[in-house]
Amino acid sequence: MLGGVLGVTLITLGITGYNAIAWSESGDVLPNADADAEIAASRSLTNPGVISSANTGMVSGDLKNTPDAKALSDPIKRAVRVRKNDTLSKILTRAGVAPNNAYKATTALATKFKPRDLKIGQTLELTLVPDQRIGKAGQYTLTRLSMNADIRNTIVVSRKESGEFNATVRKRTLVVHNTRRGSIIHSSLYLAGQRARAPAKILAELTHIFSFDVDFQRDVQSGDAFAVLYERLSDESGDTVGFGSILIAEMTLSGKNIRLFRHQSKDGDTDYYTAKGESVRKALTLTPIDGARISSGYGRRKHPILGYTKMHRGVDFSAPRGTPIYAAGRGVVEFAGRNGSYGKYIRIRHNGAYKTAYAHMKGLARGIRKGRRVKQGQVIGYVGTTGRSTGPHLHYEILKNGRQVNPRRLNLPSGRKLRGAELARFQTVRARLEKQYAAAPTGTQIATNPTPPSN
């Protein structure tokens, strides 16, 4: 197992997406079950949506018999977690916030953040004041709402004396730790990553980086290996709040070592390159889905529903219902909707020769429709079992000049090759990363000079 923490840099960094993860003091991932147990243990027994609740002062035992707005008790702080199908209005109502008060707070938040973008498991911190006016028992006035929009930005909604609300965005100061993890693969990359304490997000990104050339179901064998140098992000108190990018991605497959380096070119394009400055990116990726296994390859097979042998002109990836499906390459959506036995189906035109198709989906991603331009790696839909299907999976096809072809026999065009001044810039970046990478031998943690964060 490779381990070590390199360089610490104080920055303000924006990374989209946030997942609640439990961490040890050393920054290693703890099993999710432990994190869930801690959350469950701290919930209020009287309100299962409340993670924690604490009074900031003593509540008077005498109710004031006056309708005056000053008839309020001391504030209470609560942390509530977003549930499935929640809206901000539902969350505040469940917490006992008066409807008009909740509406004003929601309206204010919407000026800085779309409430519909709240994620399941996301935590909102509320400051509430019990309303002790006659007939208002059990209701609260919300005076403050705080939430992390992402790992970079915190949004605070505060109640003014007038009763209206104001929303502000506060940037969080983050620290970047360049961290190395790696392991020998015995059965799967995922299990090897768990042994190396590599975060799931980093393993998913590693799969994406190598997905243009590596079939992770067939090409990875026992005895192969992986290693990564990636950015771990922590707040000022040292708690891990997320992860940045992989800076170096390395795999050894059947004795052949492949090491790739992250580089942002002068024109703003970011990609992964070999030591010679050749991009690993190709026109199309072979695996447009994370964490799936190939349940049926390209070729003749006995159809599981029809019962007779016929040509299977695609590759099936078995995955849980709702797993995101990515566009295999940049292009234009040519078809999006139901398509007979394919069920919910998308076809993307990439250039004059190549198209890709995705079938049996649960649904399309928001905004995906005919004529829409998509980028490589963009989520276009979700795994389902619509059409002629026996269970949740993605049926993936690559079409060349209108005919389905075997992806494993396809010689796709290579990506960008750096030249001249850009190649020289890359070689400078590569040399610095190589030095940091080599400075973290197995089982040690070495502090080096601060490293600028990736963009």
Residues 380/346, Cβ–Cβ less than 8 Å: yes
Per-residue pLDDT, 286? 80
- In this structure, which amino acid lies at residue 212? F
Residues 147/124, Cβ–Cβ less than 8 Å: yes
Per-residue pLDDT, 304? 60
Ramachandran area for residue 110 (φ above 0: left; ψ -120 to 50: alpha; else beta): alpha
Looking at 53-62, 323-332, 336-345, which range is the least confident one? Answer: 53-62
Residues 289/317, Cβ–Cβ less than 8 Å: yes
Q: Is the pLDDT of residue 174 over 50?
A: yes
pLDDT in tens, 277-304: 999 887 788 888 886 677 676 666 555 6
Of all residues in the chain, the percent with pLDDT exceeding 70 is: 74
CA distance 420 to 414: 19
pTM of the model: 0.60
CA distance 33 to 37: 6
Per-residue pLDDT, 436? 87
Angle ∠(445,204,417) on CA atoms, nearest 5: 90
Sequence-distant (6+) residues with CB within 8 A of 162 are none
Backbone angles phi and psi of 154, in degrees to 5: -110, 135
- C-alpha distance from residue 258 to each of 76, 211, 261, 276 (Å): 56, 13, 10, 12
Going from the N-terminus, what domains does the chain have, and what CATH number goes with each? Answer: 2-13+174-282+417-438 (3.10.450.350), 32-149 (3.10.450), 293-409 (2.70.70.10)
**For the residues 436-446, what does the mean pLDDT come to?**
58
Structure tokens at 289: 């889905």
Closest by CA to 210, choosing from 227, 198, 195, 191, is 227
The tokens 């990439």 sit on which residue? 350
**For the residues 210-232, what does the mean pLDDT come to?**
86
Q: Where are the beta strands (DSSP E) in 172-239?
A: 174-184, 225-234
